[in-house]
Amino acid sequence: MRKAISFLMHLFSSNTLHGTHSPFVYALLRDCVYSKMSVRESVKSYYSGMKERKDVIEGFDHGAGKSVRIEVGALAKKSVTQHFESNLLGRLVNHHSSQRILELGGNLGKASATIASMNENADVVSVEGNEGLVQMAKDGFDTLGIKNVNLIHATFDSFFQTNEMKFDFVFIDGDHSYEPTLRYYQRAKECLKGQGPIVLHDIYWSKGMEKAWASVKQDPDATVTIDLFFMGLVYFRKNQEKEHFKIRFPKSLFGFFL
Ligand SMILES: C[S@@+](CC[C@H](N)C(=O)[O-])C[C@H]1O[C@@H](n2cnc3c(N)ncnc32)[C@H](O)[C@@H]1O
């Protein structure tokens, strides 16, 4: 109910291309957000096919803080980004010519596989704490012939403790609660080079995520934020007035009811 109300409010308060006056955001919407470029069919159908699987996966979910035992099909339906979301991530990486991408929350590997196969010259580093998922995601990359994803089995905190890499694009899609999301956002900023973006998934998923998104918007370094409802984009552009955009993404209406 809370999410439905937030969604309706978003619909009424958001703009499309034509209500957007910032040249940076206008070009981003025209050339990337509203573009139709999508991942090759083999990647899409591989992850769609996973929804039918009845085998069970076990492991420790560091977001929920407990052991989980779940059918792969159920996981593929509810835990991974929808096609329109992972395609948008791939287009964003393409639009910004990002070279090294960090994903927090690899899961079955769908988002990283999509980004990687839409951007074969980029390197994707994906972090996942559940060992069973790591193995399953790696099997998927092998099946699809995807070679530019480095999937790391670690908790997000332990990854950041030892990480020395810099990234020009970060996708945060792990523990969807307030305090951990802000912690990962801060750590992501520390290893970000350039103007971003840092992308937060599911910014209206819970009250905690709404609060985390509101805090991120207050960050003085975050000069441009774009609320697409199903994800939020944060840019760190120098010499730019701070500005927040709410953008209507046609497929999110469809995606909301999936
Ligand atoms: C929503 S799923 C990610 C979906 C994925 N980005 C995709 O669309 O293909 C979140 C994943 O984050 C992992 N996760 C959550 N908190 C974590 C943590 N603190 N450390 C490591 N992994 C974590 C969970 O095991 C889960 O697989």
Return the number of other C-beta atoms located less than 10 Å from residue 82's C-beta. Answer: 16
> Is the residue at 54 inside a domain?
no
- Which atom of ligand 1 is closest in space to residue 103's alpha carbon? 6
> Is the residue at 167 inside a domain?
yes
Ligand 1 proximity of 129 Cβ (cutoff 6 Å): yes
pLDDT tens, the chain, 258 aa long: 888 888 888 888 888 888 888 999 999 999 999 999 999 999 999 999 999 999 999 888 888 888 889 999 999 998 899 999 999 999 999 999 999 999 999 999 999 999 999 999 999 999 999 999 999 999 999 999 999 999 999 999 999 999 999 999 999 999 889 999 999 999 999 999 999 999 999 999 999 999 999 999 999 999 999 999 999 999 999 888 899 999 998 755 555 544
249 touches 226 (CB < 8 A)? no
Domain count, the chain: 1
Ligand 1 proximity of 85 Cβ (cutoff 6 Å): no
207 touches 123 (CB < 8 A)? no
CATH number at residue 156: 3.40.50.150
Q: Which long-range contacts (CB under 8 A, 24 or more apart) does 5-8 make?
A: 6/204, 6/210, 6/229, 7/204, 7/229, 7/256
Q: Residue with structure tokens 């840092």?
A: 198
152 touches 159 (CB < 8 A)? yes
Return the number of other C-beta atoms located less than 10 Å from residue 104's C-beta. Answer: 27
Q: What global pTM score does this model have?
A: 0.95
> Is the residue at 52 inside a domain?
no
Q: Domain range spanning residue 109?
A: 2-39+81-256
